[in-house]
Amino acid sequence: MFSISQAPAPAYQNLTPAQFAEGLRQSGAVLLDVRRPDGFTAGHLPSAVNIDVTAPDFGLRLVALAKNRPTNMYCRSGARSARAAEQLTKAGFSHISNLLGGVLGWPEPLTTK
């Protein structure tokens, strides 16, 4: 007997830029930029909080976030934020979204403020 195994679906959602923008309008939504601080300083989405996924204190900084709030994250291309989304899923976060293509695919200007 054969069994067909499929990889389990990620517990987070990969969203297109339009879908991601819609998610940012949710009440209480958190926006995380998981790039290194120099990338964040060069330009980020308005109202984003920078928590570098490669920093040694990444896990500790996640503890300060509410696990039940919609958490939207992005990086430059979407790869690092997908890894960060997996970490948040394992940490018990329930509503996580990842921006497909990262800021490279974001259609609006980034801010440096």
Which domain does 46 fall in, by range?
A: 13-105
Answer positive or negative: Cα dihedral of 87, 90, 93, 97.
Answer: positive
Number of domains the chain is built from:
1
The percentage of the chain sitting over the pLDDT mark of 70, rounded to a whole number, equals: 91
pTM of the entire structure? 0.88
**pLDDT surpasses 80 at 36:** yes
Look up 75 and say whether it is catalytic: yes
8 within a domain of the structure (yes/no): no
111 within a domain of the structure (yes/no): no
28 within a domain of the structure (yes/no): yes
7 within a domain of the structure (yes/no): no
6 within a domain of the structure (yes/no): no
pLDDT in tens, 50-75: 999 999 999 889 888 999 999 999 99
112 within a domain of the structure (yes/no): no
C-beta separation of 99 from 105 below 8 A: yes
Domain with 18 in it: what CATH number?
Answer: 3.40.250.10
Q: What is the mean pLDDT of the chain?
A: 91
Q: What is the pLDDT of residue 51?
A: 97
pLDDT in tens, 19-28: 999 999 999 9
Catalytic residue among 62, 75, 88, 103: 75
